[in-house]
Amino acid sequence: MPPTPPPQGLEVITVDSPRAAILHRKAKPVRVITRDIQSLIDQMFMTLERAHGLGLAAPQVGVSERILIAKVEEQKIVLVNPQMLRQEGETVATEACLSIPGLLGDVPRASRVVVRGRNRHNRGVKIEAEGLLARVLQHEIDHLNGILFPQRVRDKKTLRSPDEAAQAAVPVK
C-alpha cells in the first residue's frame, strides 16, 4: 500500500472567486477553540507554507471566523479573536495579498502595534510587534474586518502588477 500523501492545505479564496463575498464581510468571533478550530489552524499553516505567504486569515480559506496566523522570520503566531490595543507611528510599504493575486500597492500602516487575542490552546496572549510583523498583523486583522489592502492605499497610482514593480526596479541603460 503506498504511503498517504501529506495534506496540501486549503483553497485560498481570491477576489475573482464565486466565494469572494466572504472577503468583504466581518468575520464572526470564535466562541470555543475546539479540535476542529485547531485542525483549521494546522491546515491554514500548511496553506500559508504552500503559498509562500507571511499571514493568512480564516476568511481567506472560506471560514468566517476571527482567526489569523502569521509566520515572520520563523516566528509562528496564532491569534483567535484578535484585538488591536495600540498603534504607533506610520510607515508606507508595498503589500501583496494571497487573495488578490497579481496586485501590489503601497500601504500606510502603523509601525508598532500591540495586539491581544487567544492562542490555539485558548490562552490569552499579548503581542508587541514592529516592522514587518506589525504590518502582517494589521493586514490580517483587516481581513477579519472585511477590508482588503487596496482600500488602505492612499495613492491609487501605486497599485501595480508584480511585473510592473520588477520593471521599475531594473535600471534602464
Which residues have a catalytic role annotated? 140
Neighbours of 63 (CB within 10 A): 20
Neighbours of 146 (CB within 10 A): 16
Q: How many whole angstroms separate alpha carbon 21 and alpha carbon 10?
A: 17
- Residue 82's nearest CA partner among 34, 134, 157 is 134
DSSP reduced 3-state for 37: helix
